[in-house]
Amino acid sequence: MAGGREPGRPRRPRAGSRGDDPPPGRATDPAREPGPKAGPRTGSGDPRAIRVLVADDHPILREGLVVLINRQDGMTVVAEASDGREAVELFARVAPDLAVIDLRMPAMDGIEVIAAIRSADPHARLIILTSFASDEDIYRALRAGARGYLLKEEPVEELVECLRAVHEGRTFIPPAIASKLAQRVGTVDLTAREREVLSLIAKGLANREIGQKLDVTEGTVKVHVNNILTKLGVASRTEAVTIGVRRGLVRMDE
């Protein structure tokens, strides 16, 4: 029949109608695509909003922090990381305005994350948010390039102030953290080998056992031990371990 379609012949769906098959290699629902958690979840719709990456290996704490930040005017979380390596990868891909990073994470710890990000972007604005406040942790984090160091026990207002300060290019260090940093700056650094020896002392190893583990003589271990005692200003191995734990030179969970 002229001008019409043949009887019984199915009508072809128009482009863009529900009858279309999705293009090859493209998900029908982008929101369901697997992959790292990147992109704004809620938060401010203002394109001028401070874009934040959150890195913490504890899901409950991370989700709570995301909700808290997204509730603030002019702030939005654009990416979440559950370990250190993912944090580095997401920072490079998403390019947030700043990142809030936990100190203790799998794959890479917070200090390693800061060093890796800053090596690629020397102007990166990074904040450590942690439960650990040893003077060594604080010193190493700030030396690596952190612009803020805050404890998780601080009030919400303190965190928001820290985020805004670091975004503006300022350093944010609460008085209690600054006091510990000042104490650390006035001390003598242990060498990497001395820290290694101190960690083994903390595990209860004798000098001979330490020498066997490090493949050095017992006499060399004694020299390291004497240097450790002198630098820490103590008279015994027990005191050295106590000071080492308090300052963050030794981690008992390793």
Query: Residue 235: CB partners within 8 Å, gap ≥ 6?
Result: 229
Report the pLDDT value the prediction gives residue 182, as an integer from 0 to 100: 75
- C-beta separation of 208 from 166 below 8 A: no
pLDDT, position 15: 42
Q: What is the pLDDT of residues 108-154, one digit of tens each?
A: 999 999 999 999 999 999 999 999 888 788 888 998 999 999 999 99
Q: Rounded to an integer, what distance in angstroms lies between the CA atom of residue 250 and that of residue 202?
A: 8
According to the model, what pLDDT value does residue 139 have?
Answer: 86
Tokens 């290694």 locate to: 196
For residues 53, 54, 57, 60, the Cα torsion angle rounded to the nearest 10 degrees is -140
What span, in angstroms and rounded, lies between the C-alpha atoms of 218 and 207?
6
The pLDDT of residue 253: 64
Single-letter amino acid code for the residue at 31 = A
Residues of the chain with pLDDT under 50: 1-6, 8-10, 12-36, 39-42
Amino acid at 240: A
Residue 127, SS3 per DSSP: strand
DSSP helix, strand, coil percent of the chain (3-state; round to 5): 45, 10, 45
Cα(247)–Cα(190) distance, integer angstroms:
12
CA distance 192 to 150: 26
SS3 for 177? helix
Q: Which domains does the chain have, with CATH numbers?
A: 45-185 (3.40.50.2300), 192-247 (1.10.10.10)
Q: Which of 8, 162, 133 is nearest to 75 (CA)?
A: 162
Three-state DSSP class for residue 206: coil
Q: Is the pTM of this model over 0.75?
A: no
pLDDT of the residue at 90:
97
Q: pLDDT at position 188, please?
A: 73
Determine the Cα–Cα distance for residues 242 and 231; give it in Å rounded to an integer: 14
Q: What is the pLDDT of residue 201?
A: 92
Count of Cβ atoms closer than 10 Å to residue 194 Cβ: 18
CA distance linking residue 179 with residue 173, whole number of Å = 10
